[in-house]
Chain A
Amino acid sequence: MTLKKFINRILQMLLVLLGISFLTFMLTYLAPGDPATAMFSAAGVTPKPEQLEAVRVSMGLDKPFFVQYMTWLTNCLHGDFGTSFSNKNLVLNQIMGRLGATVKLSFLSMGIMLIISIPLGVISAVKENKWCDNLIRVLNFMGISMPGFWLGLLLQYVFAINLKLLPVASQGMGLNKMILPSITLAVAMTSKYTRQVRAAVLDELSMDYVVGAKARGLSNAQILFLHVLPNAMLPLITLLGISFGSLLGGTAVVEMIFSYPGLGELGIRAVRGRDYPLIQGFVLWIALIYMVINLIVDISYSLFDPRVREKRQS
């Protein structure tokens, strides 16, 4: 990636971010009733008309839409995402308090996914159309069609309730409490990834350099591990960035099932309680994280791929 392209990319990202912030702000206007009414109902009070009016003025709801958006955006840029309706805590503090847990869970499930899917994908490709390839493909297929929330419940039922091996709900963040949620998250991703690894390895195996290496007398293992695998891994990096997005979406449901104290659980509770500042903060932060990860993936892609790298030097 050239410097000019990089700057271009960043500028584009800022534009999209502006759009994201606008959309997030608009979310509040989807709701029946305005934020002032929602604030009272989140607190469980029925306000008198003059109380409602006073809150409206203090929240700036009497101002034109665009002014409201600008005020909100400026506050966000200063790190002020407002205070939660339900418990009057700063939104930013609540999100930061939960962020670590979700990141830990995501990395753990990504680790599990990579450890399982790379070997399976390679075996599947090398033994194409043999019985173990077919078995792996059937398993993959089942993994893709498996609803994550059902898998979570089943794992909970078998390992936590029947066998009593692991805790049912994970109030803390110890490793034993993260096992079931991360496996649940990993399964669907593993299936998709195994498919991709298989396809990528098959692609590379059909290249001329494999024939060349064979002619030079390299062993099959040498060809596979020194030549084919490094090439096959490249396209998978991009996919890793995309999976991170679905992972962030998936964590919400899974965190809720296991009552894992992460960002997703916070977000769902915010949506249920119509806690608008918290919903906005949650959506904005998830989108931000997702964008940054995709940017990192893009940059790392150009670092790993010598073809792209050399273009920059010439």
Chain B
Amino acid sequence: MKMTEFIRQQKKLIIFGMIVIVIALTAVMAPQITHYDPVKASLKDALQAPGAEHLFGTDTLGRDIFTRVIFGTRVSLTSTLLLLGIVLVTGSFLGIIAGFFGGFIDTIIMRIADIMIAFPDMILAIAIAGILGPNLVNSITAIAIVSWPRYARLSRSLVLKIKNRDYIYAAYITGSKNGYLLKEYFLPNILPNLIVTAATDVGTFMLSLASLSFLGFGVQPPTPEWGYMLSEGRQYMQAAPWLMIFPGLAIFIVVSVFNLFGDSVRDLYNPKSTVNKIIK
């Protein structure tokens, strides 16, 4: 396929991919975008309405909301990516092991997964994050603990699907060791599917992390984080609505972009919609 053809067919993917890059750049370049300090209090500027000086207004400690929203991108993106990485690696590792070896290991891993899935996600995450103690690492841990079973189930089913294919037998008969089989045959086969699932999950993970911090079980002050900013702003809703409007808007926009991006990644991998159009 020629490059121009690819661009024409995947307009959606390229547009959203570019917006994702812009968001990532915002996180990296935060200090260049704004000249205010995201954490230093300046009480004489407290609770100013949005204007030319402070684009999104200031909070109760006189900190510039625009600056905090921009710096919040860093916290949100890094913690989401970290969480995604942990869940993807541990979940698929356990799932692959379970599917590949079967038997006792399979039973143990999958029964534990069953038990974790029996809890509504957020409830267990709230309990774990709260008990471990409120901070960013613990909130990531909590969501990872409740999220890995989905990836384990998915990767296990993918492994089982190809386990009895002839090329796997062929590789086995010709003397491939387990490690080699997993690395050279199974992983390349199931990785694309796992990555696509991860891409569609970015928005969800971001929302879960933000809601934990909103509840006070995540990032602690003075770190600029959108969920926590919302819960701070909540008390001043009547006098200073900008405190809760802009951080919320930031979450909404960034989550939307990542959801749209995830959807277009999925369409690229699994072009069901185009097939449907041809049939009709």
Contact = CB atoms under 8 A, between A and B. Distances in A.
Interface of A: 15-16, 19-20, 23, 27-28, 30-32, 141-142, 144-150, 153-154, 156-157, 161, 206, 245-246, 248-250, 252-253, 256-257, 267-268, 271-272, 274, 279, 282-283, 286-287, 290-291
B127 A283 contact: yes
27 contacts: A19-B111, A19-B114, A20-B118, A27-B127, A27-B128, A27-B131, A31-B131, A31-B132, A141-B256, A141-B260, A145-B203, A145-B255, A145-B256, A146-B252, A147-B211, A147-B255, A150-B244, A154-B245, A248-B123, A250-B122, A252-B126, A252-B215, A253-B122, A267-B126, A271-B130, A274-B130, A287-B119
Contacts of B126: 252, 267-268, 271
Interface of B: 111-112, 114-116, 118-124, 126-128, 130-133, 203, 207, 210-211, 214-217, 227, 230, 234, 237-238, 241, 244-245, 248, 251-252, 255-256, 259-260, 280
A180 B216 CA distance: 22
B216 A272 contact: yes
A150 B130 contact: no
A144 B241 CA distance: 24
A302 B178 CA distance: 42
Nearest to A279: B127
Contacts of A16: 114-115, 118
Contacts of A148: 211
Contacts of B280: 206
A228 B121 CA distance: 34
A253 B131 CA distance: 17
Contacts of A147: 207, 210-211, 227, 248, 251-252, 255
A73 to B, nearest CB: 15
Given A32-B133, A161-B237, A272-B216, A286 B123 contact: yes
Given A252-B123, A268-B215, A23 B237 contact: no
| Chain B interface SS verdict (over half) | helix
A150 B238 contact: no
B132 A253 contact: no
A253 B259 contact: no
Contacts of B244: 150, 153-154, 157
Contact of A287 (B112, B118, B130, B207): B118
Given A267-B123, A291-B118, A153 B131 contact: no
Q: Which 8 A-B pairs have the closest CB atoms?
A: A249-B122, A271-B130, A150-B248, A19-B115, A145-B256, A245-B120, A249-B120, A145-B255
Contact of B211 (A30, A149, A274): A149
Contacts of B259: 141, 144-145
A161 B240 CA distance: 12
A141 B203 CA distance: 12
A27 B116 CA distance: 13
Count chain A CB atoms within 10 A of each CB in B116, B119, B124, B255 and give the residue with the most. B119
Contacts of B119: 20, 23, 283, 286-287, 290
Nearest to A158: B241
Nearest to A294: B118
Contacts of B132: 30-31
